[in-house]
Amino acid sequence: MASLGEEATRSTSSVARFARRSAGPGSDEVLQGLTTAVVVLGRDLRVVFLNPAAETLLGTSQRQAIGKPL
């Protein structure tokens, strides 16, 4: 059974992936404006996107987090 944190991360990543795929152009702006923390991971489970709410929650910038494992 996955921990609550793992499940939340998976759920958030799924929502972010869906939003990025379905929103098309401008989707990054939508994700940037959300007050919910969004962390998008690549297939290698490394960070490819953080919105400002995630930066605040995690205490890091998107620039610092990109390419790092979650």
Whether the pLDDT of residue 8 is over 90: the answer is no
Please state the rounded mean pLDDT for residues 45-67. Answer: 92
Taking the domains of the chain in order of start, what are their residue ranges? 4-65
**CB-based burial of residue 21 (10 Å sphere; 0-12 exposed, 13-18 middle, 19+ buried)?**
exposed
pLDDT by residue (tens digit) across 13-42? 666 666 566 556 666 777 788 888 989 888
- For the whole model, what pTM was predicted? 0.59
Dist. CA 38–CA 41, nearest whole Å: 10
% of the chain residues with pLDDT over 70 = 61
